[in-house]
Amino acid sequence: MTRRIMLHKNTLLCAGLGAVFLFAQVPLASAAVVTSMKPLGFIAAAIADGVTETQVLLPDGASEHDYSLRPSDVKRLHNADLVVWIGPEMEAFMDKSTQSIAANKKVTIAELDGVKPLLITGADDDDDHHGHDHGAAEKGDGDHHHGIYNMHLWLSPEIARLSAVAIHDKLLELMPQSRAKLDSNLQQFETALAATDKQVSNELAPLKGKGYFVFHDAYGYFEKHYGLTSLGHFTVNPEIQPGAQRLHEIRTQLVEQKATCVFC
C-alpha cells in the first residue's frame, strides 16, 4: 500500500532556503526598497540590512493572483528608491504601475540576463499563495495565468543568489556611500546560501529516485537543483473537497506511480 505523508507545501521552501533568510522586515509606511512578496522581501532585507529599510507590498493574507493595488500601494511603489518583483507573469497587479518606474529603480527578476537561461516550463494552473492565505477558491487558468514558465523563481538557490546580486548592484548605484556594507551583506548572503545548499543537498541525497506527488507544480526549480523525482501534481485546493471521480484519479495515480509521499 502506498504510504502517504501529508505535509504543508511551504515546508519544502523552508527546508531549502529558510535558514538563509534570517533578516527581519520593518513594516513602515514607506521604504527605500519595496518588494512584491515575502520571498523577495527576505532576500532584499538581507542585502539592505544596515543600509536602508525594506517592505513587502502584499499584506499578510493576500494573494498575488487576485490582489488589487490600493492608492497607498501605488504611492509606495512610486516613492520607493527600488522596486523588486518577479515580473508581470507572476504579479500582474503590478504591471501597469511598474511601467512608469525608471529602469534603474526596479529589479525584474524574470528578466535578469543570468536568470533567463535558467527558466523552466511549468503548469500555469498554480494556486500557491507563497506563505499567504490558502483558503481562496480554486480558480481557472485564465484567472492566474503564469505563461509557459514556472515563476516560483526563488525556489532555485542559483536564482536566489542572482536576485541578491541584482539587488546589491542596484542599491550600490543608488547608495555608493554604502558600498562596504552592501558588499559585506552580499558576501554573507552568498556564504550562508552556499552552506545551506550543501546541507540540504546532503539531507536530500537519500531521497533521490523516490517518487512523490504534489498538489500543484510549484517546485520545479527546487526539484531540478536537488535531483528530486516528482511524479506529478493534482492541482487540488486543500480547502475544497474533490469529487469522487477526482479522488479515484488521484488514488489510481498514486498506486500506478508507486509514490512514497504526497506534499499538500
pLDDT at 263: 67
The whole-model pTM stands at 0.76
DSSP string spanning 66-93?
A: T----HHHHHHHHH-SEEEE--TTT-GG
Residue-wise pLDDT tens digits, 127-154: 444 444 433 333 333 334 456 898 999 9
Distance of alpha carbon 217 from its chain centroid, rounded? 13
Residue 9 domain-assigned (yes or no): no
Identify whether 137 is part of a domain. no
Query: In terms of domains, do 172 and 68 share one?
Result: yes
Same domain, 112 and 190: yes
Average pLDDT in the chain: 80
107, three cell numbers: 529589479
What value, to the nearest 5°, has the Cα angle with vertex 19 and ends 173 and 11? 120
86 touches 64 (CB < 8 A) = no
pLDDT of residue 14: 47
| Residues 64 and 35 placed together within one structural domain of the fold | yes
Which CATH number is 162's domain given? 3.40.50.1980
At 94-134, the pLDDT tens digits run 999 999 999 999 999 999 999 999 999 865 444 444 444 43
Domain of residue 88, residue span: 30-123+148-205
- Answer yes or no: is 24 within a domain: no
Residue 210, domain member (yes or no) = yes
- Does the residue 130 lie in any domain? no
* 82 and 111 co-located in one domain: yes
The answer for residues whose C-beta is within 8 angstroms of residue 149's C-beta and 6 or more apart is 89, 110, 119, 120, 121, 122
Same domain for 107 and 182? yes
Helix, strand, coil shares, percent, the chain, to 5: 45, 10, 45
> Can you give the pLDDT at residue 146?
52
Cα–Cα distances in angstroms (integers) from residue 102 to residues 76, 87, 105, 206, in the given order: 15, 15, 5, 47
170: pLDDT confidence band, cut at 50, 70 and 90? very high
Does the structure show a pLDDT above 60 at 67?
Answer: yes
| Position 223 pLDDT exceeds 50 | yes
Residue 215 and residue 157 share a domain: no
In this structure, are 200 and 256 located in the same domain?
no
